Amino acid sequence: MAHVKVERRSMRPEEWTQLRFVWLQRGIYADREEITDITIRDARQVSESEYEYLDGGERKLQRGDLYFTPDGTAFIRAHAIVPERFRGRQVYLQLKTAAEMIVKINGKFAGGLDPNRERILLNPYIDRDELDIEIEAYNRSKPDDERNPAAIGKHGCRQIFEGMYFATVRDNVQSLVYDYTLLLDIAHSEYFNEDYRKFLNIELSRALDKVDFDTFEGVDEAAKYIQKTIYENTDFKGSGDVALVGHSHLDIAYYWRRIHAVQKNARTILIQLRLMDKYPEFRYTHTQAYTYETLEKYYPELFAELKEKVARGQFEPVGAMYVEPDCNVPAAESLIRQFLYGQHYFRRAFGKTIDNAWLPDVFGNSWIMPQILKKSKVDYFVSNKMSTWNDTNRFPHNNFIWKGIDGSEVYASVPPTHFISWNMPSQIQENWEAYQDKETGGQTLSMYGYGDGGSGVTEEMLELARRFEKVSVMPKIEMTGGADFLHKNLKDNDKLATWDGELYLEMHRGTFTTKSNLKKMNRRLEYKLREAEMLCAFAAAFGGADYPAEELRACWKKLMLNQFHDILPGSHIHPVYEDAMRDYTEINKKLDVILAANDGDVYFNSLPFDRDMLTFIPDEDGPITREGVKGFWSRPHLPGLTCGNVSPVQGKANWMHTEHGQDGKLLIETPFYRLALNQDGSFASLYDLTLGREWVRPGCGFNKLHIWADHPGMYDAWDILPNYQDVEISLPIQEAARVTYADDSSAEIMVDFATEKSAWRMVIRLFADSQGIEVEHVVDWQEKHRLAKVNFGPDVLTREMLCDTSAGFIRRPLTKNTSWEQARFEVCHHKWFDLSETGAGMAVINEGKYGVGVEKNKVSLSLLRSTIRPDITSDMGKHHIAYLILPHAGDAVQAGVNRLAFAYNVPLVKATLTLPDKWREALCESGLWLQSAKLSEDGTMLVLRLSEQDGKRACLRFPEPVKLLNMLEDIEGEADTLSVKPFEIMTVGIPLNEGGN
Amino acid sequence: MEQYIQQVLAPRVQGDGGWVEFVSLNENELTLLFRGECSKCPILNRCTAWIEQKIFEDQGQRVTVKAIRKKPFFWDNQ
């Protein structure tokens, strides 16, 4: 018998309830009167506080007019008299908009309007019958519009002005609307008990039977009915214990430029402050010292209000860091500075040291983080992405202990659901059900509030919260603060499980590579800042020179700002990239000026060990062109922390022999290798004459360039998919490998490739006096949806790869035995990776690359992508990418790969500087990396930061006692000898009026 | 006209995650290619009307914009 599907075509009872709920919403406004004396002036924001007014001046604005222009800010002014009939009542300003508006009434900040809120209470600002209304409105509204379908239709560069009104509200209707918003959400949610939902559907319909939708009589009776039959019903039980924390995530730049975040932030804060006035129980958390700094600078009036609310405990600074940075790519010192400048700001502004890191949206977290947190007086860590965005494995904990690379432990919360929610019962119940540490972790954390200009918490969210305890099926709810949640549930909780490893996000793997130039400049400036700061600090401490503290701090802050998690990772629109590159150029110029002040005829080796590795010295008369700069190769032979002259490396005659072999191979013999190069520059063979072994595994490709079709979809800039190698794109050779330069110390072999749009030159550099082989790629990249990688298949029997983290190395499996290993097919590293077996191995050292592909028999360095969302020009243009292939005896530690990688990345700068021998020897003999030398923020100490990078124990012996500091430069003790644990970062201070100076 | 589009109007559109490129100007028909967020914008016609108005104000030329949308593959079904 044929199956006949039974389908109901007439209205269901639930649909009847839903329809009447819409009618009820229409009854919220009791009375309205349009405000018609309105003018508008179009502008475009050009800096954090400046606007360029567009032609046309001020014009009248009427209902039905189009307003706003692309990337526009509009200044709207209105003058109105409160209607006689509204006087003595609660009067609102009502304006529906898809834009983001800050509203001032009679010169006072009254509130904000956006797709999530359409009215502002006027009464507190009515000091006379006449009202002057001033609105600053930014039209780029992407406040969670995917989550707010009503806003999508209105979204766009040009919007229709729907009018501005005085309005009064039927409070009882509004209250009943909140009841129905709450209860209908439960009735529609499969997270709740089915019997209760049936009960709700029946009773919600019955309650609405009492309402006359023409006059809105009967609303009070309906409310009473709900109170009695639903809220007072205890037949149904729920379970769970959920902490609700108000929060508004704010991307400093993303689909908007960082200059726009100043206004977005101010509006978000203004709205939260106004909610605190009305709802005394409301507490709100806000991150990023930078956002407070801009509020203080540009909106001092609001900042004063905020300080008051902070003092009262309603407004809670969280996060401790300067911004919410990417936590994969920035080096350890950058992350430390994020805390140093963040915490110092919070101390100055509010007298508070924040004990949590609050990073809900970052794309995974480096294993070096726990130590940095702990030593920055941060005991707690919060980050959401791993629980909600992993694409392969479910991260097994929500409340747990996170153990770092050095063994430091912090309490961690990875909340089970998204950091943007709108406090609906279904979202709260979903959070509880997804929570994996019910037996050990105490409460689960649910953040509520719109983000990214959606401006946080709404009145509706707080009205719902006031009703939660009346609903028997809801979990137990506590409205709390971020720190209170962490202290209550995690502190001294000995039941918590421990996660010992990085917090790898199984998504967004492309962000290690997207926008190559940003990563390269960030790396370069991290080290240039180190040089500038160190030279100035030593000159000040040991030579009495002035220290440019403000200039250096400004450079750090600009660099840190651009480490924001949608800037440095490359996930932003084109103008954000332009801003970042402009910022990098500005930092670079400022550092040149600072370095010039210490300039000399000799070079200063800032490495705490002998610099004898081949180093490229820029020189206009030099014979070599590297990365577009002329210069020469030198072996400086400079002891650590000393200065001296450098000269071109001494050559050897006839050090290289070449001949053409079979299949077009180029056969080269140097003092170190017999190298067979394929026409495309890949190595067919690399025979090591010193070690007597072959390095190339046949069939795997070695220094083999591949271009892959790269179609990750919507998250184009963010993601690389596991099947990226399905389609290879041909990169035809224009000119095969040939020797293009040779002198008595180095030689260059070039290969030229080209596609229809792009030109790609590979330059392979061999040296008479070094086993390192440098490869530079000079690229004019004009592709779309492509991923360029270079493969290395070394003939090394190993199941793991060592990856530099910038503060120690992490061992990553090369095996694919488990789903966890399979998911890590693209991982982050810093300056180097290494594959070694007992006795020998091979490292690849880079100067600005982060993504590494992991496969069975080979690894691949990710060079370039060409994504089109959010920026269709991403990575287009010229690139110089260099790396050093370094076969070595012993393992990576025995071979000193860390030192070589530092030397490859740290520029040798001119400066005449002499350190007292006793301090120089103490630093150089420790074997530790001198990560930073600076004057303390209070200017009283020379601060030295030293890190153990090789995973072994060390001892620091100073010539006299030094102050033991945490990373915030607080003095915690004094000693002259320090034992250092593997991967430990130490900070010490030498008082300026003592010691060697 | 191409330079005007590229230097004056394109940066504005880019600020909203959109992208506009000059294709051709035949008589008074100005063909523009819209990419990025513009490629799926439901109210692109309002923006093209603004472009026509701006060109008239700044260049003194009355044009009619013919918009070509180039959607990325992942929005092709929208």
> Does position A602 have pLDDT exceeding 80, yes or no?
yes
Q: A490-540: per-residue pLDDT in tens?
A: 999 999 999 999 999 999 999 999 999 999 999 999 999 999 999 999 999
Residue of A nearest to B17 (CA): A573
Shared-domain flag, residues A315 and A458 = yes
Shared-domain flag, residues A855 and A922 = no
Q: Which residues of A182-206 are buried (b: 16+ CB within 10 A; e: fewer)?
A: bbbbbbeeebbeeebbebbbebbee
Question: Which positions in chain A touch B37 (Cβ < 8 Å)?
Answer: 255
When pLDDT is averaged across residues A948-975 and rounded to a whole number, the result is 97
When pLDDT is averaged across residues B26-36 and rounded to a whole number, the result is 96
- Can you say whether the dihedral through the CA atoms of A76, A77, A80, A86 is positive or negative? positive
Q: Which residues of A5-23 are buried (b: 16+ CB within 10 A; e: fewer)?
A: eeeeeeeeebeebbebbee
Q: A413-427: per-residue pLDDT in tens?
A: 999 999 999 999 999
Q: Which of A44, A141, A157 to mutate to test the interface with B (most CBs of B within 10 A)?
A: A157
Q: Looking at CA atoms only, how far is residue B26 from chain A in angstroms?
A: 25
Nearest CB to A156 within list B9, B19, B46:
B46
Mean pLDDT across chain A: 95
Structure tokens at B46: 């309002």
Question: Residue A691 domain-assigned?
Answer: no
Shared-domain flag, residues A55 and A189 = no
Question: Which positions in chain A touch B67 (Cβ < 8 Å)?
Answer: none
Shared-domain flag, residues A59 and A151 = yes
Shared-domain flag, residues A258 and A345 = yes
Shared-domain flag, residues A247 and A334 = yes
Q: Do B43 and A573 touch (CB under 8 A)?
A: no
> Does position A996 have pLDDT exceeding 80, yes or no?
no
Percentage of residues in chain A with pLDDT exceeding 70?
Answer: 98
Shared-domain flag, residues A443 and A299 = yes
> Does position A377 have pLDDT exceeding 60, yes or no?
yes
Residue range(s) defining the domain that contains residue A70: 29-169
Q: Looking at CA atoms only, how far is residue A166 from chain B in angstroms?
A: 29
Q: Do A711 and B73 touch (CB under 8 A)?
A: yes
Q: Looking at CA atoms only, how far is residue B75 from chain A in angstroms?
A: 8
Question: Which positions in chain B touch A66 (Cβ < 8 Å)?
Answer: 46, 49-50
Domain C-terminal end among A459, A479, A506: A506
Q: Looking at CA atoms only, how far is residue A162 from chain B in angstroms?
A: 16
In whole angstroms, what is the distance from residue A978 CA to residue A479 CA?
45
Residue of B nearest to A157 (CA): B47
User: A357 and A788 in contact (C-beta within 8 Å)?
Assistant: no
When pLDDT is averaged across residues A24-50 and rounded to a whole number, the result is 97
Q: Looking at CA atoms only, how far is residue A469 from chain B in angstroms?
A: 42
Question: Which positions in chain A touch B57 (Cβ < 8 Å)?
Answer: 55-56
So what's the pLDDT on residue A993?
75
pTM of the complete model beyond 0.90: yes
Q: Do A66 and B46 touch (CB under 8 A)?
A: yes
Shared-domain flag, residues A361 and A499 = yes
Return the amino acid letter for A489: N
Q: Looking at CA atoms only, how far is residue A573 from chain B in angstroms?
A: 6
Q: How many CB pairs under 8 A join A and B?
A: 76
User: A987 and A962 in contact (C-beta within 8 Å)?
Assistant: no
Q: Looking at CA atoms only, how far is residue B16 from chain A in angstroms?
A: 6
> Does position A542 have pLDDT exceeding 50, yes or no?
yes
Q: Do B50 and A868 touch (CB under 8 A)?
A: no
Question: Residue A681 domain-assigned?
Answer: no
> Does position A142 have pLDDT exceeding 70, yes or no?
no
Q: Do B74 and A256 touch (CB under 8 A)?
A: no
So what's the pLDDT on residue A1?
59
Question: Residue A874 domain-assigned?
Answer: yes
CATH no. for residue A951? 2.60.40
pLDDT band at A677 (very low <50, low <70, confident <90, very high): very high
Q: What is the DSSP letter of A557?
A: H
In A680-732, beta strands by DSSP E: 683-688, 693-694, 702-709, 728-729
Question: Residue A516 domain-assigned?
Answer: no
Structure tokens at B20: 């506009």
> Does position A144 have pLDDT exceeding 70, yes or no?
no
When pLDDT is averaged across residues A20-26 and rounded to a whole number, the result is 98
> Does position A837 have pLDDT exceeding 90, yes or no?
yes
- CB proximity B31 to A under 8 Å: no
DSSP A440-476: TS-SEEEEEBB-TTS-B--HHHHHHHHHHTT-TTSPE
- CB proximity B78 to A under 8 Å: no
Q: Do B12 and A158 touch (CB under 8 A)?
A: no
So what's the pLDDT on residue A995?
44
Question: Which positions in chain A touch B47 (Cβ < 8 Å)?
Answer: 70, 156-158
> Does position A351 have pLDDT exceeding 90, yes or no?
yes
Q: Do B16 and A71 touch (CB under 8 A)?
A: yes
Question: Residue A579 domain-assigned?
Answer: no
CATH no. for residue A807? 2.70.98.30
> Does position A153 have pLDDT exceeding 70, yes or no?
no
Alpha carbon separation from A522 to A330, A386, A504, A580, A918 (Å, rounded): 8, 25, 22, 10, 34
So what's the pLDDT on residue A129?
83
Domain C-terminal end among A506, A523, A538: A506
User: B14 and A573 in contact (C-beta within 8 Å)?
Assistant: yes
Number of domains in chain A: 5
Residue of A nearest to B35 (CA): A872
> Does position A150 have pLDDT exceeding 70, yes or no?
no
Q: Looking at CA atoms only, how far is residue B2 from chain A in angstroms?
A: 18
- CB proximity B60 to A under 8 Å: no
Q: A164-177: per-residue pLDDT in tens?
A: 999 999 999 999 99
Domain C-terminal end among A874, A905, A936: A905
In whole angstroms, what is the distance from residue A131 CA to residue B12 CA?
33
Shared-domain flag, residues A334 and A412 = yes
Burial class of residue A961 (count of CB atoms within 10 Å of its CB; 0-12, 13-18, 19+)? middle
Question: Residue A762 domain-assigned?
Answer: yes
In A289-414, beta strands by DSSP E: 315-317, 356-358, 380-382, 399-403, 409-413
Question: Which positions in chain A touch B46 (Cβ < 8 Å)?
Answer: 66, 156-158
Residue of B nearest to A256 (CA): B15
Q: Looking at CA atoms only, how far is residue A713 from chain B in angstroms?
A: 5
User: A374 and A357 in contact (C-beta within 8 Å)?
Assistant: no
Q: A757-816: per-residue pLDDT in tens?
A: 999 999 999 999 999 999 999 999 999 999 999 999 999 999 999 999 999 999 999 999
Superfamily of domain B2-75 in CATH is Fe-S cluster assembly (FSCA) (3.30.300.130)
So what's the pLDDT on residue A857?
80
Question: Residue A7 domain-assigned?
Answer: no
Shared-domain flag, residues A143 and A224 = no
Question: Which positions in chain A touch B35 (Cβ < 8 Å)?
Answer: 868, 872
> Does position A143 have pLDDT exceeding 60, yes or no?
no
Shared-domain flag, residues A362 and A428 = yes
Nearest CB to B43 within list A72, A158, A257:
A158
The ipTM, to two decimals, is 0.96
Contacts of residue A46, Cβ cutoff 8 Å, sequence gap at least 6: A52, A259
In whole angstroms, what is the distance from residue A62 CA to residue A37 CA?
9
Question: Residue A869 domain-assigned?
Answer: yes
In whole angstroms, what is the distance from residue A94 CA to residue A34 CA?
9
Would you kindly state where each structural domain of chain B is located, as residue ranges? 2-75
Residue of A nearest to B57 (CA): A55
> Does position A147 have pLDDT exceeding 80, yes or no?
no
List residues of A whose CB lies inside 8 A of any B CB: 44, 55-56, 66, 69-72, 139-140, 153, 156-158, 255-257, 573-575, 711, 713-714, 716, 868-870, 872
